[in-house]
A = this chain, B = another copy of it.
Amino acid sequence: MPRIITLLTDFGYNDWFVGVMKGVITSIAPESLIIDITHNIKPGDIRSAAFNLMVSYRFFPKGSIHVVVVDPGVGTARKAIVVQTEDMIFIGPDNGVLSWALESTDICRIIELQNPKWFLKNVSNTFHGRDIFAPVAAHIANGIDIQEFGPTVSDYFKLPFPEPTISNYNVTGEILLIDRFGNGITNITDSHLLRTKLEKYKFFANSKFVGRIQQSYGTVPAGKPLVLKGSTGFYEICVNSGSAASMFNLEPKSPVTALLD
C-alpha cells in the first residue's frame, strides 16, 4: 500500500507551486501517493485551512501524512513542525493551521523542523512548501523517523475555535466558512441543541430568519432557504438550488442564532 501524502495550501491553481511540490516529493519518495485536499484557501486564511483539515483528515488511511502550507509568516521566526498522532502525521507552519485537527487526536510527539539535512539544498525565504515541507513529507513517507528533523517541542500554537454560546437554550454562533455552493457552515452542532426538540429551533443569519432544520435540500422549493445538518456535523445555512451566502450576505464570522420556539 502506497504511503499517502495530502496537500492543503493557499497556492492556488494558476501557478507552478503545487506541481513543483509534487516534483520534489516524487523525486524523493516516488512510490508515495499524493492527494490534493484543496489549494484554493484564500491567501493566508489560516482559519479556513484549519477547518478544511479538521473535517477531512480522518477520511484518509492510517499513516497518512497531511501537509498544510498556509504560511503568511514564511521566512520569519515562526516554527515549522511535524506532529505525530496515534493515526496520522501532520506537517506545517506552527501558526494554528494544524490545531483544529489536532484537538481531536492523541498526540505522540511534536518535532520542530530544524535539520537542513532533510531540506532542499538552498532554502528560499518564500517557498518552504517546496524547500522544507515537501521534502520532509517525502522522507517521512520513506520511513525516516521524525526525530531526525529536529528537537522535540512540548506544544503547538492553538488557534481558538469559536464555540457558540448558549443561554436559555438559545444558541448564538457564527459562520465558519462559505462553501462552493454558497452554504454557510456554522459552528453549531448537535451538542449545542436539545436533541428531542430539533424541529423547534428557528435559525437566523445576520439577524434574518432562515428557517428550521430540514432533512434534505428537496424539502423546500428551489430558491428557498433552509437549515441542514451538514456532512461535517455542523449545521449549515442553505438555499435549495441557490446560494445562502448571497441571500443572507454571509461571510466567515457572520452571526447565526438558533432560537428555541
Q: How far does the alpha carbon of A156 sit from the alpha carbon of B61 in the complex, in Å?
A: 34
Contact B215 A61 (CB under 8 A): no
Subset of 9 A-B contacts with CB under 8 Å: A4-B26, A18-B38, A19-B37, A19-B38, A23-B56, A23-B59, A43-B180, A76-B217, A126-B228
Given known contacts A12-B180, A23-B56, A60-B27, A241 and B44 CB-to-CB distance under 8 angstroms: yes
Contact A215 B125 (CB under 8 A): yes
* Chain A interface residues (CB < 8 Å from chain B): 1-2, 4, 6, 8, 11-20, 22-24, 26-27, 30-31, 33, 35-40, 43-44, 52, 55-56, 59-61, 64, 72-76, 124-127, 130-131, 179-181, 215-219, 228-231, 236, 241
Q: Oligomeric state, in number of copies? A: 3
Chain B residues closer than 8 Å to A37, beta-carbon distance: 16, 19-20
Contact B15 A52 (CB under 8 A): yes
Q: How far does the alpha carbon of A12 sit from the alpha carbon of B4 in the complex, in Å?
A: 22
Contact B30 A61 (CB under 8 A): yes
With beta carbons under 8 angstroms apart, the residue of B24, B60, B61, B125 that contacts A228 is B125
**What's the nearest-Cβ distance from chain B to residue A123, in Å?**
10
Chain B residues closer than 8 Å to A30, beta-carbon distance: 1-2, 33, 61
Contact B60 A23 (CB under 8 A): yes
With beta carbons under 8 angstroms apart, the residue of B38, B74, B216 that contacts A15 is B38
Contact B40 A19 (CB under 8 A): no
Contact B131 A20 (CB under 8 A): no
From A17, A24, A59, A124, name the one whose CB has the most chain B CB atoms within 10 angstroms: A59
Contact A22 B35 (CB under 8 A): yes
**What's the nearest-Cβ distance from chain B to residue A235, in Å?**
11
Chain B residues closer than 8 Å to A44, beta-carbon distance: 241
